[in-house]
Every structure is written in structure tokens, then in C-alpha cells.
Amino acid sequence: MEVKSDNHPHPIVQVQSMGKSFGDNEVLKGINLNVSQSEVVCLIGPSGSGKSTLLRCIAFLEQYSSGTVLIDGELLGYNDDTDYRKLAPAKELNRVRRNMGMVFQQFNLWPHMTALGNVSEALVRVKKIPRAEAGQKGRELLKKVGLSERADHYPAQLSGGQQQRVAIARALAMEPQVMLFDEPTSALDPELVGEVLQVMKDLANDGMTMIVVTHEMGFAAQVADTVVFLDKGEILAKGSPKQLFQGAQPPRLKQFLQNYLDRNAFWTQEETTE
């Protein structure tokens, strides 16, 4: 496995004292998290722990209730110029989060467009790139995710893993500074998981800043710079993969890991592949 530099120049995402409630249900409590340029952060934890809600709040697909989220130093989602917090106008929101790409559990591809069309259409509509140029860039991105030969296939003609790789290429087309992944392999058959994880590993090795909600402990162990363990809406542990998976563990983290696999299995795999 290629070892990336540990030198992360500055935080590109800053989450400060974030809280999120749905009515009386407090699902995120005092979340603090910095993500530096070229850093890979994996969010792990049991179902219902708040991982996906945290990711959606970072993208402002959900409105966080308290605290702040800064993207490259700019407040996301709100306008705090007055004494009362107000939602930022849509134009301002989109400007601040323009440098974020997001890949969901479901692929959300346009069924009436080919793989190439799915990747290149936003370049035409949003970035106003001429269609021929957008098509060329789209083919380059499909090649990057290993799908050059599937450019003219429609989503129904692609496997789940291939569709997810098209979704990744589509997100990359907007040239984001940070990629957000919400359990991108959870909807895939087990034999298709590896091809998607390999694309994500390649992105990490290329220096892409990534925040990944995942149940793939081996991926977190091998690729993450920082692993964050959430339970009941709180961060209970945070550190390098070695610290969390091999070091002293809080009882709840130890219990969580034991529910998935022998705690040393993925470290054995990593050490034999280096």
C-alpha cells in the first residue's frame, strides 16, 4: 500500500460544537472535528450513531441546529451577520459548498443518460463547458474509475459497482476539494465492494480530501489518516487507525469492533500488503 504524507497544511472542513435535533430527539451533541487538506477521515460506529447525519450536516443537506461548519474558512448554511442566525440564501450556500462532492449509498444516476452523459451533463449545465469538451473530460474521468469501455452504457446495463463508480466520476467532474462518501458500498453485493473501495483508495493516494462513513473496517484501517468513532450522537474516540484499532480502547469501541471481526485481522492484511 502506498503511504501518503502525514503533512496536512490546513483544515478545509471545521466542525465546531455542532448539534442536531429532530424535534426533541438530539442526534448530534457537541461535535468538534477538523479535516485537513489531503486527509482521509473515516466515520465509524453502530447504526443510528449519527454518522450519516453528521456527513449530511457537513454538506448542509440537513440543517445543523447549533454550532458552526466552516468550509475553507467560510460559514456554511447560515448568515451570522446579525444577532439572529438566519439561513443563507441558496446562492450563497451553493457558493460555499461548491468545493464539496458527495457520493451516496444509492447511485442516483439519470437512467435515461449513458455513463458518459451522467458524468458530463453537469459540466455543460453548471460549468457551461462546451459539450464536446465536457464529453472529453467525462471520458477521462470514466477512465480514472476504470470504466472507459462502459462510457456508452446506460445505468440499467451496468452492475451496482459500476454504477457507483460512475457516481464517483460524476462527483469528481465538478473538481471538488473534498469528497464526502455516505456508506458507498452498503448497497452493493459483496463481490462488487472491492472495485469501489479500490477507486476510493486511488483517490486517497492522489491526495483527495475525503470524509467517509463506512462499515468497512479494513478500508478504514488501511486508508484513513484519522478514524472517528461515534455512538449516540457523540464522538467517543478519535485518532489514527493504529491508535483506535490496536491501542487502548474505550469499552464501547471495543464492543463495537468485536461485533464485526477479530480486531487484528485487518492489521494483518495491511501489514502483508505494504
Q: In the block, which residue shows the cell 462502459?
A: 150
Longest dimension (CA), the chain: 57
Q: Residue 83: what pLDDT?
A: 65
Look up residue 29 and give its amino acid.
K
Record the cell numbers describing residue 175, joined without a space: 473538481
CB neighbours of residue 148 within 10 Å:
12
Instruction: Give the chain as a 3 state SS string.
Output: CCCCCCCCCCEEEEEEEEEEEECCEEEEEEEEEEEECCCEEEEECCCCCCHHHHHHHHCCCCCCCEEEEEECCEECCEECCCCCCEECCHHHHHHHHHHEEEECCCCCCCCCCCHHHHHHHHHHHCCCCCHHHHHHHHHHHHHHCCCHHHCCCCHHHCCHHHHHHHHHHHHHCCCCCEEEEECCCCCCCHHHHHHHHHHHHHHHHCCCEEEEECCCHHHHHHHCCEEEEEECCEEEEEECHHHHHHCCCCHHHHHHHHCCCCCCHHHHHHHHHC
Q: What are the CA-CA distances from residue 88 to residues 84, 85, 93, 94, 274 (Å)?
A: 12, 9, 6, 10, 46
Query: Distance between CA 34 and CA 126 in Å, rounded?
Result: 29
CB neighbours of residue 23 within 10 Å:
5
Q: What is the pTM of this model?
A: 0.89
User: In a 10 Å sphere around its CB, with 0-12 CB exposed, 13-18 middle and 19+ buried, how is residue 154 labelled?
Assistant: middle
CA atoms within a 13 Å half-sphere pointing along the CA-CB vector of 166: 31
Torsion angle (degrees, nearest 10) of CA 67, 231, 265, 263? 120
Q: Residue 265: what pLDDT?
A: 54
Look up residue 178 and give its amino acid.
V
Query: Distance between CA 243 and CA 226 in Å, rounded?
Result: 9
Q: In the block, which residue shows the cell 485537513?
A: 36
Q: Residue 272: what pLDDT?
A: 42
Q: What is the pLDDT along the chain (274 residues), one digit of tens a residue?
A: 333 444 545 799 999 999 999 999 999 999 999 999 999 999 999 999 999 999 999 999 999 999 999 999 999 999 876 567 899 999 999 999 888 999 998 889 999 999 999 999 989 998 899 999 999 999 999 999 999 999 999 999 999 999 999 999 999 999 999 999 999 999 899 889 999 999 999 999 999 999 999 999 999 999 999 999 999 999 999 999 999 998 888 899 999 998 775 544 554 454 444 4
Q: Residue 239: what pLDDT?
A: 96
Q: Residue 259: what pLDDT?
A: 78
